Structure formats: structure tokens, C-alpha cells
Structure 1
Amino acid sequence: MRLWCLCVLLGLALNAGADSVAGFTASHIKMVNVVAPEWPEYSNKDGSGLYWDILRAVYEPAGIRVKPSTVPWNRALKMVTEYRVYNAIIGETRNSSEPLLYPRYAIDVEYLSVMYPLTARINWQGMNTLKGNTIGWMKGVDVIPAKQRNFTLREYRSSAEGLQWLQQGKIDMMVDEWDAIQLALEDAGVGMDYFEVRDMPNGRDVYVAFAEGAVSEYLISEYNRRIPELVASGELQSLYRKWQAGEMPAQVKALLKTASAQ
């Protein structure tokens, strides 16, 4: 009976959200469970990729094993924020309304895509192209602040719905992550031959976002401590070069100047 109770307590210590972990020290944290959608070269299903390699470089020297999982975004987010199955999710932005904790340093810069039908014969002129049009993006994602909008906004609940609205003429353009657009097109059996896709000019920092709790607070402090060390040693730069993917965020690039000055 005592052995069973001990196993349960240790299991809770590794669980992302169990409140009882507050009494455990960092030495009890042997594994971090991290989830992300399957993004080729970033978070491959086999555990390879830029994001997984960065997290291993952060945590494994401290004796914390990284356990990667690939799950579609909406389900992955719930499994971090509601069910606490995972410690963290990769790819969230700081303006999210979800109950998450963030480290000081972002892991990547994400550029959203703008898609519109070729039949619309739109002459792309950057952000000015949005003016006067009806633009759709995911509900809850504040791509452009309200005061800066010179267009009509319609928020959809899924990329599939956004694509449907675009086809039906309910919106003139949809702004979304390219991976989400691509998946919506595949699921609908629609080819890219009918659309034009452009990148939004300004990227957004994306983070490894952690579930609330004492374990996450330690994991975040370790992340914040290790990233400057990885920059100073050149290991982080090597990982970005190795995968030829992602972009070092501005606050991480700033560490390069500090490292070179030393």
C-alpha cells in the first residue's frame, strides 16, 4: 500500500498541473512533457526538429528528459490548459487569452499568411491591400489591433470555416497560419491553383507556453537561465543552422551582442 502511494505521488510530480507538486524540489522533476502540432522541420512526429532539439539543449543538461508529443493544435491546447496532460505547448503568442505562463525568451518568429482567390484579381501591396476589404481570421487572435484596422473583420472558429467563407465570398481574404490553411485545403479537397498566398510583413514571437503551477515556474526559470548560455556557447545558433528553419527572435538576437562583447 505504501509503495502504491509513493508511485502515485511521484506520478503527480511529473504531471503538468497537479497542485501537490508545490512541495517537491527541482530534483524531483525528471521529465518535461511538451506538445505541439506536427510541423515539418520544427516538431517532427519522430521527435526530431528544431523545437525539440532546443528543448533538449535547455533541459537535458539539468537531468530533465524532454518527452515530445505531436497533437493537433486545438486539442493540444486543451490538454495543457484544462486537462494538464502536458507541461507545455510550443507555438503560443503572449496575447493569448489562455491561462499560460511564458518564459522571457521566444523560440521562433511566426509569419501569418494572407490568402485570397485568384479570381478577385487583387494587386498585392502589402498591408495596404487589406484596406476596404472584409478580412477573416481566427476568433480570439488579435492579428491587428482594432485602432489600426481600416477593413471589416469577421472572425471564424476554425480554418476550415474560414476557407468556406472565402469560397462563398463572405470574406475577401483570410489571415491564418500557413500550416492551418494548407490542412484546411487538403481536408476540403481544394487545390492551391485557385488561390494566391502572401506573407504578412510583420512576424509574431511564439513561445514555449507552460501550464500554470509550481513545476512550470521552475521549468521557466531553467529555460530563462539556459538560453543565454546556449547563445554564448554558439549551440543555439548551430541548431537554427542545422535545421535551416525558424528565426531567432529579437530578444534572443540581442543576446548575441552581449555574448560577442564579452
Structure 2
Amino acid sequence: MRYFVFFSVFISSLCGAACLFSSTAFANTNERPIVVSAAYWKEFTNRDNTGVYFELLDEVFDGYTIHYQTSTYPRALNQFKQHKADVMVGVYQHDLPDAVYATWILDTDLPIHIFYRPDSPPSDNLDEIFVGKQVAWRKGYGFDSLFPNIESAYPLDTIEAGFELVLNRRLDYMLDYDINYLEAYHGRIHHKAIREGDKLYLAFKNTPRGKALAAHFDATMPLLRDSGKLEEIYGSHYARSGLAEFAVLTPSGID
């Protein structure tokens, strides 16, 4: 159990009346623990409640009890949709269109890679790369919205199943991330990046409590960046994350 810290006193001294309002609204959310749902991503959302994103949430919501639920991406999405979580970690905004999103991003996703057999390399032309091809990715990953020209897609339970299906010629390609390239398949499966990573967000429930949590996230992130804490938390991932140069634009386009 972590102890409550009065964010409003600290934030108001740095941010003024606007930040004081969001922090006061957030204080009213301390009626129960913050339940966070996430898929397991090595280094970012570990099953022992460690990792970059969980460390960030511990820092942002310091003083509040947080319950982490780490599972598969589809299960984490369902937990959020079924109102069993206040926050969903690491989503594209189109994954949960009815959720509330903070203005600040969580991260910039890794580039998407295509995995293939060495004797069957994909075309370099993205308009033709998937024509007549059987493609797969793990369940819940919304790659079909990023590659609308995919003609035939197959959902995978595990990445190991995808590698095996490609090797056995039951699939032409698998889409995933370089970080998940298993050593057992090095040399037998090749890969290359075909799309740069998109912005990743925290999704909050579309309720007064969810809106207060999102507002508090927005109020706290610039303080963590200015103090150097964000760079400390993200470590080697900070340069890629896009957080160093992230700017909140007003309607007039002025930071």
C-alpha cells in the first residue's frame, strides 16, 4: 500500500490554476484502487508488475494503490471493455474509440516487421506486398487497420505458432516486432521493417473518474520530463519514444 500524496499542492505551485483544477479532480478518484489492464510486453509490462510502463504509472499516480492485470492483448482489451479496468496500457486510439485519451502519448510503437522464409521474400512495393498472400499476426493486434490491402489474415495464439506456420508454408508472412524475433528461428526466418511505429496511448474509461485520471496524467507528464525522470524511466527506449520532443499544441498551434 502506497501512501497518499497531495499532488494539488505540488502541482499548483508549478502549473498554476489549470493544473490545480485537474489535480483536485483527481483527488476525488481515490475512492478505490486504480485497476490497470495490460498485455505482457517484455521490458515494458512484465508479469511481476515491473517494466517501463508500470514504473511510469507508479510515478504518475504515486500515493495511490494500483492493481495491475497482465495477460494477453485480447484479454486485456476485453477486461477494459467489460469495465473491469480503469486504464488500458499501450493502445492505438482506433482500438478503443469510445475511451478517453490523455493528450500526452505513452510511447511510439516499435516498427512493424514482416517475417518470411528466405526463399520467399516479400515485395518492396507495399501496394503489392500482400496480394495473394496468407498473412498472420497475434490475436488482438489491429494490423488490418494499418494494412487495408491485406486480402487474407489469420489470427495467432502465440508467436511460436506463427513462425512454425511460416516455416511449414502454411503462411506466407507473419507481422510482429523485431523484439519478438525468437533466436530459435534465426536464419530460418528472415524479417524486415515495413512500417514505422505509430503513437501508443493509455486508454481511460469514459467516466468522470477516467477523465480525471487522464487529466492528471497530462498534468504530471511534463513535470516528469522536465525533471529528467521520464528519461530515467524509459532508459534506452527514450529516444525512440517521442516523449523528448512531444509538444501539446493549442488550437492556434502554439505550444
TM-score clears 0.5: yes
Contact 1:106 1:207 in 2 (8 A): yes
Residue in 1 that maps onto 2:66: 66
Residue in 1 that maps onto 2:76: 76
- In structure 2, list runs of 5 or more residues that go unmatched: 1-25, 249-255
Shift of 1:78: 0.7
Shift of 1:176: 2.6
Superposed, 1:91-240 pairs within 5 Å as 91-97=90-96, 99-110=98-109, 111-120=111-120, 122=121, 125=124, 130=129, 132=131, 134=133, 136-138=135-137, 140-142=142-144, 144=146, 146=148, 149=149, 152-158=150-156, 160=158, 166-167=166-167, 169=169, 171-177=171-177, 191-240=185-234
Residue in 2 that maps onto 1:21: none
- Runs of 4+ that moved beyond 6 A: none
Contact 2:45 2:52 in 1 (8 A): yes
Once superposed, what is the RMSD of the aligned Cα atoms? Answer: 3.5
Q: 1:162-189, CA deviations, whole angstroms, 9 ceiling, x for partnerless residues?
A: 556635646532223456775xx9xxxx
Equivalenced residue count is 218
CA distance in 1: counterparts of 2:156 and 2:39, whole angstroms = 15
Contact 2:136 2:171 in 1 (8 A): no
Higher helix share: 1
Say if 1:233 and 1:246 are closer, same or farther in 2 by CA, change over 3 A. closer
| Amino acid in structure 2 at the alignment position of 1:69 | Q
Residue 38 (1) aligns with residue 37 (2): no
| TM-score (normalised: structure 2) | 0.69
Say if 1:123 and 1:27 are closer, same or farther in 2 by CA, change over 3 A. closer
Residue 245 (1) aligns with residue 237 (2): yes
Provide the secondary structure at the position in 1 that maps to 2:94: coil
Q: Identity over aligned residues, as a percent?
A: 18
Q: 1:60-103, CA deviations, whole angstroms, 9 ceiling, x for partnerless residues?
A: 1xx32333232121111111112x22211212111215542221
- In structure 1, list runs of 5 or more residues that go unmatched: 1-23, 257-262
